[in-house]
Amino acid sequence: MLIACVIGFHEGTQDTYSKLREARAAVAAGAAELDLVLNHTLLTRHNPPAVPKHVMSSKDSAIDSVTAANTAKNSSSEVHDGREEVDYSAIYRELASMRSLCPSPVVLKLILETSQLTDKQILAASHLAAAANFDFIKTATGFNGHGATIPHVQLMVGAAEYLAAKGVGGRKMQVKASGGVRSLEAAVKMLETGATRLGTSSGLWIMQEARTKVGEEKGKQDGERPPQTRLYTDDSAGGEY
């Protein structure tokens, strides 16, 4: 069994220093996979985070390569002709720093929070993740807007395949569909779309639904009555789960 931990939960607006400290502590505690929440405000520019208070410690060799200036840069923006310009390099530096701190075999997933991004921004984030050698791009935390959708998963899968074909990054990224996957039908659709992992709090119900479906199909083949089951409600308990 592998242990996974979320870094930057749940909005991703923490400064780079804080995220790296979280990541190092998680790996030291036994985490084999880290799900990093993208600071999506750096892509949308609608709520730039405050300049971080922390300063890098030269005594910490694990994160010495990331400077306080780079961390501050994560929270800055440039204005041209009255418009804020996205600083993609700041996002990349954070992702590359995380990869440097947590090399393979630690699995890194970037949570995009797709409900907060346009298709163009999803593609940009996917490109940055691939360039930083992340293993997965993931749809959502489940705490900010809607979760995974078929169009977004399709877009992310297509981006991962295109970037791999172009040689961006050292590996082909996989896609994790997370958020709103609450039924067997939804789970199957996400997998058929190209997701290789699912994030769901309904895993037990989905497996029960799958088992019931298999039983029904077997019953039809054998000419037997399919078994009855309750998945989401239990009248005897007087409520809905």
Residue 45's pLDDT is 73
CB 16 within 8 A of CB 71: yes
* pLDDT given for residue 218 in this prediction: 72
Tokens 């040689």 sit at which residue? 167
Q: What is the mean pLDDT of residues 164-193?
A: 95
Domain ranges within the chain, ordered by starting residue: 4-201, 204-241
Task: Give the pLDDT mean for 193-217.
Answer: 91
- pLDDT digits over 116-151, tens only? 999 999 999 999 999 999 999 999 998 888 999 999
Identify the helix (H) or strand (E) that includes residue 155. Answer: helix 150-165
pLDDT at 32 over 60: yes
Active site residue 176: yes
Q: Is 35 known to be catalytic?
A: yes
- Per-residue pLDDT reduced to its tens digit, 55-99: 333 344 433 444 344 434 444 445 544 456 788 999 999 999 999
4-201: CATH number: 3.20.20.70
> CB–CB of 38/12 below 8 Å?
yes
Residues 50-69, buried b or exposed e (16+ Cβ, 10 A)? eebeeebeeeeeebeebbee
- Among residues 15, 35, 87, 135, which one is catalytic? 35
- The single residue of 19, 87, 109, 176 carrying the catalytic annotation is 176
Cβ burial of 18 (10 Å; 0-12, 13-18, 19+) is middle
Mean pLDDT of all residues in 28-33 = 98
pTM of structure: 0.75
